[in-house]
Amino acid sequence: MRGDEMMEAERELELWSSFKNNNDLNAREELIVAYRPLVFWIAKKINFNKNNNNLSQDLIQEGMLALIHAVDKFEPERGFKFATYAFHRIRGQMINMLERSEKRAPLPVADEILEFYDNNNDNFERDDDWLNVSEIISRLPGREAEVVSALFFEHKEPKDIASEKKIDISHVYRLRRAAVARIKLWLGLA
């Protein structure tokens, strides 16, 4: 579905004129509503993991912000189609959101735990503590234990775990953060 097929060309020109020349907020609102399907379409194309509603909602929210910004910044007098302009802004902002969320993810659990032991335990004997960590991880609830075990013992990448479990990578990071918080609490670090 293309955005320029969502509204008759004459009506769209009237709305752009009314919004840009008279600051008509009703015209602005109508343009935003008319192009909303473009946001959903792009989010669906980007969200390759259809089972994750959280990612879809995040993408749609980010896309709506980009759409609103595109409507506000668009210059119809330049002769370009709004759908093309909005498509690139919406898609770009969605991709930036995904990249930001991946960069903000904390260190893998193994690094956090080993860093703690290296910094706080001079008598650290890895074999015994590996058993302790394994025991602690086994006490974690379901998915948290699966994700942390895959990260810690199998040295899998978050994206691979997400693919295997058919969940979004951001959900892998959330499960890991929850598990790390729980482990720190159990170890008396929180």
Q: Which domains does the chain have, with CATH numbers?
A: 3-103 (1.10.1740.10), 109-186 (1.20.140.160)
Mean pLDDT over each residue of the chain, to the nearest integer: 77
> In this prediction, what percent of the chain has a pLDDT beyond 70?
72
Q: Name the DSSP letter for residue 11.
A: H
Burial string for 148-179 (b: 16+ CB within 10 Å, else e) reads: bbbbbeeebebeebbeebebbbbbbbbbbebb
Q: What are phi and psi of 7, to 5 degrees?
A: -145, 145
Alpha-carbon span 67 to 64, nearest angstrom: 5
Going by C-alpha positions, the residue among 106, 107, 104 that lies closest to residue 96 is 104
pLDDT for 52? 59
Whole-number Cα distances in Å, 90 to 69, 97, 104, 175:
9, 11, 21, 28
Calpha distance 136→46 (Å, rounded): 37
Supply angle C-alpha 162, 145, 168, rounded to 5. 20
pLDDT bucket at 189, cuts 50 / 70 / 90: low
**pLDDT above 60 for 1:** no
Q: How confident is the model at residue 16 (pLDDT cuts 50, 70, 90)?
A: very high
Q: Model confidence at 106, in pLDDT bands (50, 70, 90)?
A: very low
This prediction's pTM: 0.52
Amino acid identity for residue 43 in this structure: A
Which tokens hold the place of 33?
């509503």
